[in-house]
A = this chain, B = another copy of it.
Amino acid sequence: MRFLVPFEATRPKTRLNPVLDAAERAAFARAMLRDVLAALRAAGHDPTVVATQAVDEGDVPVAVDDRPLSAAVNARLGGTDPVGILVADLGLVTPAAVGSLVDASDEGGVAVAPGRGGGTNGLVVSHPDFRVDFHGVSVRDHLAAARAVGAETWVVDSMRLSTDVDEPADLVEVLLHGEGEAAAWLRDAGFALDIGEGRVGIDRTV
């Protein structure tokens, strides 16, 4: 299956700046991208990187598109063949995890892999009218958008696909469960485990 892998090549992983400088963030982001591309190919799929500026990933096709993420992806949807989308910052990805997303879409419609905190880390789109919007609580919005065009929806239950690496908290999971270049890069950079506390905001309205 054709898979789009959006990649922020200009200023990647800015939320990691408490622990990595700009050059390190760029190198770590590329290591995660390579893990995602390798997992997709090992699972038998054909990735294309959709990058904000030119990057060289050897024999992997790279499309440069400086539009916002959702617009760049939507410009490549709408055909009759299923298209997969997988974010580039999955430091825990494996071929089996990719397979769980693709298997979920066996019956067509739209399969979604939720990310932590309401994001969407992967999709397989088998409906020509479905479009993405990665802003806000996108996992909920994508399921609603799929139903709105009459597509069946499937949700994949995968820790590996749910763990996009955005901030220092997430590096813990890469160190624990990563099996590729990203985990090796962190270890080479001197990172080790020191588990603390996590925080995400909630709002009590009553």
Contacts and interface: CB of A to CB of B under 8 A. Distances in A.
Interface residues of A, number: 47
A172 B205 contact: no
Interface stretch (A27-35, A56-64, A80-88, A191-199): A191-199
Given A157-B158, A177-B114, A195-B118, A172 B202 contact: yes
A152 interface: no
A168 interface: yes
A100 B177 CA distance: 18
A190 interface: yes
Contacts of A194: 201-203
Interface of A: 15, 19, 94, 96-97, 100, 114, 116-118, 137, 139-140, 157-162, 167-173, 175-177, 189-206
